A and B are shown apart, each in its own frame.
Chain A
Amino acid sequence: MTGWLEGRRARIEGECPAVVAAFGDAGATFVEEGDIDIWVHVAPPSAIKAAHELSHDEWRASLDAGLDRRFLGARDFAEQCRARMGGGAILFIGAPEQALGADQAAAAGALGNLTKTLGVEWARDGIRVNAILTRESGETLGHLAAYLVSDYAAYVTGAVTGIGLDD
């Protein structure tokens, strides 16, 4: 992975130690403020509850983290990419559609088709958009994430993938 992300500035929203480690190994620099080349959003897993036991507030919180915040963050990032005319890579990470509750099923399904849509809508801005929907949190997740935001995946956009058998 040496050099995959050399010279690239990344920001990761959400917690995912495997991705942080892999990006570091691949040579990315993490920046808190200012322009970035890579934006990753990791949604925290929501509680597993039957739909009739979910309050509207819980439902809203899942959809906000799993969908709305991702769209708004991606839009801001794309705007910044267009302003500097340099392209970029967006990666969404979260649980698979059927892994948790109905809130996740809705959010992940929406996110998958949003990924496919934004991947094409922003293709000619040089911005690639991909998603990993998985139950895995280990090294392969980090490596796959680093691959997808690197130039080695220059022809991969709008892709939604898992990692393990149950993804």
Chain B
Amino acid sequence: MPVPSHHIIAIPPPFDAPPYPADIFAGQVVLVTGGGSGMGLAMARAFAQGGAHVAIMGRSLDRASEGAAQIAALGVRSHAMSCDVRNPDGVAAAFDEAESALGPVSLLANNAGANFPVLAENISPNAWNAVTRIAIDGTFLCSTEFARRRIARGEGGAIVNNSAQYIWTGFPGDAHSAAAKTAQATMTRKLAADWARHGIRVNAVAAGFFPHADSVSGAREEGIEPLQNMIPAGRTGSIHEFGWLSAMTCTPLFGGMTGQIIVQDGGESLRRSLMMPDFVPPRERAEGPWGWK
């Protein structure tokens, strides 16, 4: 169903009108994990709009390079690297490479993640390990590598984690990601406490539905238009507004903020009614565990 025409939809400013000046990250380097596409690329673009040089880390060097090329087009320096965030030595090597190419990394965006609809009983040990460890171990390893380097330099920094809107409710049909994304959010608070005295801030954005070219299960013939009316806000999120909020948490404008998890989901995680459509277990949903393909 389309959104009724008498409903009022709040719309963000366009991509070319970012909420901060073009030099707010001047002289800084951000490392974005999983930054070659999707939400990571949106984060990378937002940091670039504030003047940060951008190191893009991805499993696939090709994809990271494509992202880095898009970033360079925004007028900052960029560098693409291949890295598995579950491998501590690989993470350290990637930081070395980023710093040798662009200078000391002072900002970190933990975005690397994997996700797909699957019944809990069908999650293989390999799939469970992949989804949980990329988000949980990956965020831990990249954040600690970042923090050790910042502390050694005697300088602060900022970290932003890409969490998800379903972290406080569970997500039937997505057990691995439900666990992984909440771990990211709860570690955000503790990492912030551990590193506050070193001037390192750590925050997270619990993101709702921001469709992009690589969205999981997002390739419907009819596109995303039919999904707009499902969200209380009357639309799915625009990927650049997610990037902006992520980058915003790392700006001096929000310099006192740390340990926070901000939900940006158009009210999606909050919608409920006393009377709802019949409950269909994920196993029996015609369109798969998430209820859509």
User: Do the beta carbons of B12 and A152 come within 8 Å of each other?
Assistant: yes
User: Do the beta carbons of A140 and B10 come within 8 Å of each other?
Assistant: no
User: Do the beta carbons of A119 and B232 come within 8 Å of each other?
Assistant: yes
A164 contacts chain B at the CB level, 8 A cutoff: yes
> Interface-forming stretch among B28-36, B216-224, B248-256?
B248-256
User: Do the beta carbons of B248 and A155 come within 8 Å of each other?
Assistant: no
Q: A120-B270, A126-B10, A151-B10 are in contact. Are A156 and B244 (CB under 8 A)?
A: no
The interface bits of chain A over 49-64 (1 if a CB of B lies within 8 angstroms of the residue's CB, else 0) are: 0000000000000000
- List 25 interface pairs A-B (beta carbons < 8 Å), by A numbering: A4-B19, A86-B8, A87-B8, A123-B232, A123-B234, A124-B3, A124-B8, A124-B232, A128-B10, A136-B256, A140-B253, A150-B19, A151-B13, A152-B13, A152-B19, A155-B10, A155-B238, A157-B10, A157-B232, A158-B232, A158-B267, A158-B270, A164-B259, A165-B196, A165-B258
A71 contacts chain B at the CB level, 8 A cutoff: no
**How far is it, in angstroms, between the C-alpha of A153 and the C-alpha of B11 when the chains are bound?**
9
Q: How many residues of A contact B (CB 8 A)?
A: 41
Hey, which bits of chain A sit against chain B, CB under 8 A? 1-4, 85-87, 116-117, 119-120, 123-128, 136, 138-141, 143-144, 147, 150-159, 161-165, 167
User: Do the beta carbons of B208 and A143 come within 8 Å of each other?
Assistant: no
Residues of B within 8 A of A158 (CB): 232, 263, 267, 270
**How far is it, in angstroms, between the C-alpha of A165 and the C-alpha of B189 when the chains are bound?**
7
**How far is it, in angstroms, between the C-alpha of A45 and the C-alpha of B256 when the chains are bound?**
20
Q: How many residues of B contact A (CB 8 A)?
A: 44
**How far is it, in angstroms, between the C-alpha of A151 and the C-alpha of B244 when the chains are bound?**
12
* Cβ 8 A contact of A159, one of B238, B264, B271: B264
**How far is it, in angstroms, between the C-alpha of A82 and the C-alpha of B263 when the chains are bound?**
25
* Cβ 8 A contact of A157, one of B233, B244, B256: B233
The interface bits of chain B over 1-29 (1 if a CB of A lies within 8 angstroms of the residue's CB, else 0) are: 00110011111110001010100000000
Cβ distance B231 to chain A, nearest Cβ, rounded Å: 8
Cβ distance A162 to chain B, nearest Cβ, rounded Å: 6
User: Do the beta carbons of A152 and B193 come within 8 Å of each other?
Assistant: no
Hey, which bits of chain B sit against chain A, CB under 8 A? 3-4, 7-13, 17, 19, 21, 189, 192-193, 196, 208, 232-234, 237-238, 241-242, 244-245, 248, 253-267, 270-271
**How far is it, in angstroms, between the C-alpha of A141 and the C-alpha of B257 when the chains are bound?**
9
> What 6 A-B pairs have minimum CB-CB distances, sorted nearest first?
A126-B8, A140-B256, A123-B232, A154-B10, A124-B7, A154-B12
Cβ distance A11 to chain B, nearest Cβ, rounded Å: 19
Q: Told that A1-B19, A126-B8, A157-B10 touch, could you supply 10 new A-B pairs with CB distance under 8 A? A: A127-B8, A136-B256, A140-B254, A140-B256, A140-B257, A159-B262, A162-B260, A163-B260, A165-B258, A165-B259
